[in-house]
Structure 1
Amino acid sequence: MSMFCFQCQEAAQGTGCTIAGVCGKPSDVANLQDTLLYVLKGISWYNEKLREQNVNPEKVDKFVFDGLFSTITNANFDKNVFTKRIIKALQLRNELHSRCLALNIKLPAQLPSIATWNASSVEEFEAKAEEVGILSTKNEDIRSLRELIIYGVKGLAAYAEHAYNLGSKKDSIYAFMQRALVATTENLSVDELVALTLETGKFGVDVMALLDAANTSSYGNPEATKVNIGVRNNPAILISGHDMKDMEDLLKQTEGTGVDVYTHSEMLPAHYYPAFKKYEHLAGNYGNAWWKQNTEFESFNGPILFTTNCIVPPKSSATYTDRIYTTGASGLSGAIHIADREESKMKDFSPIIEHAKKCAAPQEIETGEIVGGFAHAQVFALADKIVDAVKTGAIKKFFVMAGCDGRMKSRDYYTDFAEQLPQDTVILTAGCAKYRYNKLPLGDIGGIPRVIDAGQCNDSYSLAVIALKLKEVFELNDINELPIAYNIAWYEQKAVIVLLALLHLGVKNIHLGPTLPAFLSPNVVNVLVENFGIAGITEVEKDLEIFMQEATA
């Protein structure tokens, strides 16, 4: 095999991609990502020693979470980016080694290989992946738990970067990320790795709380909002991904230029924040979940800005290739990359704005409105109405259907499931999974929408806060006593950290689909089943029967 990757739900044949990624990632990029991760573990090893002496250069934390984020599924496909990152990573790791020596920090006589390996050529970087990649851990259960931790840490890194961009930092999160990376190189037992997995979930809650506070303090609490899904007649930019700071910079720089801005996929929740509603040129949301971009970007006509992951490499026949721009952790060979912002300055989006001015207005692909903005503050404002609806039986059960969407035909299950839910049930959602049902005419219950959209995948934190608040209101001892069922779709590593966060909060009986992760060994699956009641999905009718029986149990 020329590579091995099974970090996302689309792992080939349900086991792993060995020639090229189903996501479009070529083998050389996959191997460079494995090598970068290896060197990041070495950086973390030295930085742990420095932390013990209260020495911790901020640039190290940022380099680690930036590097991790760039390896998330569908984030960066640019080989040159990873080559340069590995070179910088080796330089930084060696710099930290020298720093330890200068501070007389006692190091072991025999340093681990993550602390000593050096190379300088792309060929050496790619070859190293064969020695240090996923399959280098021979024990299947140890490998499974190590990868589960690493993918959780990658999710942590994504959310930590978004918060950092808004000026919110938390050293304990960065310290844990680095400690966890190092731990995956150590001879830990299965029990120790299980404990570390649950600790990863604890920091998942912490990082989502950090990002939630960063977003709301910067832009206000999300509000229930109707978002236009039609188009106007102005030239426009389509912004995708998750980074709200990039959204802010783009809106400021396009104001008064005659260029509209449309959100795409996970950027839809930008419409819910009060601070963005003042921009009249924030025209609406265009399209659906990330995987439909190959057709929807053709009809948009204007340039597309990727702020994070969820890139689908264009087909060779695509006419929009020269309209793709990337920034932050995202990257695509041939695309124009917008450089990071300098301190106290905005990113320079002038190239994409000038490009947009020369383009035709978007072609309309649908009309109407979708409603969202039900993060925890907005739901708390409706708390009395919701509690009354539960007490009177108007609402029998809530279904958390958060998570990711994807291109597999089997994901039609989630549309069918939403359509067949009884009329006295409500969907709580966050993430791009909502595009499977957020345009269905599901109606409301006494003015409460039957689809309550909290926002992006990280806003699953809001759903957890809502559940904890309901537990308090109904004076229950256990969160699992609530009339809430969890039927969650997953795709990549941010979904992994959301799952681990829910497990940390004590949530049980989560159904996960459309398939269970390929990186979970049978024994690790058994641990999750026995301790947390994790289950897969089957058929809509069978699963609904199980869920509704639980509602009346």
Structure 2
Amino acid sequence: MFCYQCEQTDRSDNLLLGCHSVKGNCGKDDRTATLQDVLIVICEAIGQYAVLLREKGVVDPTWAHRASYWVFTTLTNVNFNATVFQRMIADAIVLRDELKARYEAACTEAGETPVVPEGAAQFVPDPGMAGLLKQAPLVRVDANIDVLGADVVGVRNLNLYGLKGLCAYAHHAHALGHRTDETDAGIEKALAFLGDPPTDLDSLLGHALELGSLNLKVMEMLDAANTGVYGTPVPTQVRVTPVEGKAILVSGHDLGDLAAILEATKDTGITVWTHGEMLPAHGYPGLNKYEHLAGNYGSAWQNQHAEFAAFPGPIVMTSNCLIEPQPSYRSRIFTMGPVGWPGVRHLEHKDLGLLVKAAQALPGFATTDPERSITVGFGHDSVLANADAIVEAVKAGDISRFLVIGGCDGAKPGRNYYTEIAEKSGDDTILLTMGCNKFRINGHDYGTVAGLPRLLDIGQCNDSFTAVKIALALADAFDCGVNDLPLSMFVSWFEQKAAAVLLTLLALDIKNIRLGPTLPAFLTPAVVDVLVDKFALKPLGDPTEDLANAMAGA
């Protein structure tokens, strides 16, 4: 196998950064890694034929919907079940062949000669596992690196990983019944691009920025889906200490899965608790209306081994961020949606009775602890409702700067950097946080400034659109560009959703983003130099110096 799509990647060999043994640091084995690579190639071929069919006026929204789901399953810490990937590959091949046949039929009807796509459309996967493993070098993310070089392959993969994150966001919206033809077409086009990509850096970098622009539209679609179904988030206090009784823990990102669990457990006496990226769900009126949505338990995904072991009820993983379940809780963890682990029970909305029975059979919390809480729900509507006051406070000098401190959390040393930035920030700054990186800073009371809490939790990593919308609205209010605002970004990355968000920020030409704690392994030093030169992208340094420079606008 070879994989370097996330921060967990093996960096012990400076000449070959990446996990390239029989098992990756995330727990993915070479068999599953190969199947994921094959699934991506088949999805790229689906994109190639979908684009050709669009040129013939043949459009079907299910193509982008299904491809997005399949691509989502290949993200870091989502699905580790080789058997599931074999089924998905078989289904994807059926769809690819169907699109090919429809395209050729449309050409025949029009009296035209069909175009024969190159690249992914020409790949014929071996029907057996042994054969697929032999084909692995043809489909691995480092394919042709000896010819193309690490820079070209790295930027090719920047496109791939950005698309993976984009497809994850699209799936979250699709799951709530929201889609647009523009984003469907964009996903198909992006898959087709990767099916037969160019080999020059300029074209690849240009397309990466196009993906960033597309991802902004996808995140806007997801924002409309979340707020359209569950209402506009409002500032909400969330309990973080136990309440006596039976309990279920829900982690991940998928609000639709959480809603289904809440409905299934209504009037059962079972309390439902969020974990990790599900914390912002409490700010949505359509979810917070359930009185048994009791609070948040635990912190970010990388702490789940200890936190899941200590939780006295069943646990449900609804999207990404799954780590290999430990024996202490393996029998009481469930997966939903794209998530999977061999031997772990997978739930659909229709069979949540099994989850209810598991909760009733387990002990639950034995006591009610003294109440403590944190506040979430500062979506763009809530923040921008105070736009006039914020603008006046900036003009009066009461607010000196906005610091965006957010993104993915992780176990790698160096992430206390973000805690230090928050703790060392002045009392006249406003801190905007999102993603599970929030757990690095949300346990502290930062007080208020200009009548607002200094720490504003704007949501999941999925809610990056909120940060963008706030920034663009403030730029309009001040009649300036985003880079002229008193705004600095300290972004933590871990996996492919973060890659998609980074591309969106770059596509908006936002400068001076501080990214870390380490830079992605697929970004070679030469590519990093390009991003530093073009966008003033900044690797993390000393937090005190970085904060001083950011406060000075650098």
Segments of 5+ residues of structure 2 without an aligned counterpart are: none
Say if 1:186 and 1:506 are closer, same or farther in 2 by CA, change over 3 A.
Answer: closer
Distance (whole Å) between structure 1 residues aligned to residue 274 and residue 330 of structure 2: 19
1:49 is the counterpart of 2:52 = yes
Is 1:123 the counterpart of 2:125 in the alignment? no
What TM-score, normalized to structure 1?
0.94
Matching residue within 161, 183, 198 for 1:173: 183
**For residues 366 and 25 of structure 1, do their structure 2 counterparts lie closer, same or farther at Cα, with a shift above 3 Å needed?**
farther
Superimposed CA distance per residue, residues 359-417 of structure 1 (whole angstroms, 9 cap, x where no aligned partner)? 11137899511111111000012223322321221211111112110011211111122
Question: 2:436 is matched with which residue?
Answer: 432
How far residue 263 of structure 1 moved from its aligned partner, in angstroms, is 0.5
1:54 aligned partner, one-letter code? G
1:473 to 457, 477, 482: 477
Question: C-alpha separation between the residues in 1 aligned to 2:516 and 2:466?
Answer: 21
Q: Amino acid of the residue matched to residue 184 of structure 2? A: Y
What is the identity percentage for the equivalent residue pairs of Structure 1 and Structure 2?
41
Alpha carbons 1:43, 1:115 under 8 Å: kept: no
Q: Find the counterpart in structure 2 of residue 343 from structure 1.
A: none
In the other structure, the counterpart of 1:383 is 387
Aligned match of 1:133 in 140, 153, 158? 140
Which has the larger displacement, 383-392 or 196-205?
A: 383-392
The separation in 2 between residues aligned to 1:370 and 1:471, in whole angstroms, is: 29
Q: Which amino acid aligns with 1:204?
A: N
TM-superposed CA distance for 1:462, in Å, is 0.6
Q: What whole-Å deviation, never above 9, does each CA across 1:416-459 have from its counterpart, x for those lacking one?
A: 22111122112111111100001112222243112111001021
Counterparts of 1:540 and 1:118, CA distance in 2: 49
Q: Is it true that 1:237 corresponds to 2:238 in the alignment?
A: no
| In 2: Cα distance, 1:245 partner to 1:355 partner | 21
- Asked whether the 8 Å contact 1:232–1:361 carries over to 2, the reply is no
Q: Give the corresponding residue for 1:521.
A: 524
- 1:374 corresponds to which of 373, 378, 384: 378
Residue 154 of structure 1: aligned partner: 164
- Counterpart of 1:115, as a letter, is Q
Find the aligned partners of 1:111 and 1:520 in 2 and give their Cα distance: 26
Bigger Cα displacement from structure 2, 382-391 vs 327-336: 382-391
Alignment partners' CA distance in 1, 2:116 and 2:415: 53
SS where residue 401 of structure 1 aligns? strand
In the alignment, structure 1 residue 326 sits paired with structure 2 residue 335: yes
Residue matched to 1:221: 232
Which amino acid letter does the alignment assign opposite residue 356 of structure 1?
A
CA RMSD of aligned residues (A): 1.7
Indicate if the aligned counterparts of 1:376 and 1:465 stay in contact, CA closer than 8 A. Answer: yes
Shift of 1:351: 1.0
**1:260 to 2:271 alignment:** yes
Pick closer, same or farther for the CA change 1:12–1:524 going to 2, 3 Å: same
Deviates more, 1:280-289 or 1:433-442: 433-442
Q: Which residue of 2 aligns with 1:442?
A: 446
Q: Which residue in the other structure is 2:3 paired with? A: 5
- 1:530 aligned onto 2:533: yes
User: Taking structure 1 as reference, are residues 320 and 149 closer, same or farther at Cα in structure 2, changes over 3 Å only?
Assistant: same
Give the whole-Å Cα distance in 1 for the aligned partners of 2:549 and 2:370: 36
Report the CA distance between 1:102 and its aligned residue.
2.3
Partner of 1:451: 455
Q: Which residue of 2 aligns with 1:505?
A: 508
Task: Please name the residue that 2:87 is paired with.
Answer: 84
Structure 1 unpaired stretches of 5+? 340-345
SS in 2 for 1:499: helix
Task: Identify the match of residue 212 of structure 2 among 160, 182, 201.
Answer: 201
Contact 2:245/2:270 (<8 A) preserved:
yes
Q: Distance in 1 between matches of 2:56 and 2:33?
A: 35
Q: Deviations over 1:117-155 (max 9, x none)?
A: 142112223332222111113222221111111111111
Distance 2:137 2:400 in 1: 53
Q: 1:208-262 CA deviation, whole Å, 9 max, x = no partner? A: 1001011111111100111000111111111111111111111111100111100
User: What is the CA distance between 1:172 and its match in structure 2?
Assistant: 2.0
State how far apart, in whole Å, the 2-side matches of 1:403 and 1:122 are.
37
Residue 41 of structure 2 contacts residue 120 of structure 2 at CA under 8 Å; is this kept in 1? no
Shift in CA distance, 302/542, structure 1 to aligned 2, threshold 3 Å: same
Aligned residue for 2:426? Answer: 422
1:95 aligns to 2:105 (yes or no): no
For residues 361 and 70 of structure 2, the distance between their equivalents in structure 1, rounded to whole angstroms, comes to 35
Deviation for aligned residue 1:310: 0.5
Q: For residues 350 and 406 of structure 2, what CA distance do their matches in structure 1 show?
A: 31
Please tell me the residue identity of whatever aligns with 2:533. Answer: E
Say which SS state the counterpart of residue 13 (structure 1) adopts: coil
Quickly say closer, same or farther: Cα 1:109–1:208, change in 2 above 3 A. closer
Aligned residue identity for 1:8: C
Q: In 2, Cα distance between the equivalents of 1:363 and 1:81?
A: 38
Tell me how far apart the structure 1 counterparts of residues 370 and 521 of structure 2 sit (CA, whole Å).
36
Q: What's the secondary structure of 1:11's corresponding residue?
A: coil
**How many residues in Structure 1 have an aligned counterpart in Structure 2?**
540
List, as ranges, runs of 4+ consecutive aligned residues in structure 1 with deviation greater than 6 Å: 363-366
**2:234 & 2:197 partners in 1: Cα distance?**
46
Distance in 2 (CA, whole Å) between partners of 1:174 and 1:521 is 31
Change (3 A) 1:5 1:118: closer
Tell me the distance in 2 between the aligned counterparts of 1:64 and 1:128.
22
Distance 1:112 1:508, change over 3 A: closer
Structure 1 residues 28, 366: closer, same or farther in 2, change over 3 A?
A: farther
Pick closer, same or farther for the CA change 1:366–1:40 going to 2, 3 Å. farther
Match of 1:182 in 2: 192
- Partners of 2:410 and 2:357 in 1: how far apart? 33
Q: Offset of 1:27 from its aligned partner?
A: 1.9
Aligned to 2:403: 399
Q: Is the 8 A contact 2:47 2:190 kept in 1?
A: no
Match of 1:164 in 2: 174
User: Does the CA-based 8 Å contact 1:240-1:264 persist in structure 2?
Assistant: yes
Question: Residue type of the partner of 1:499?
Answer: L
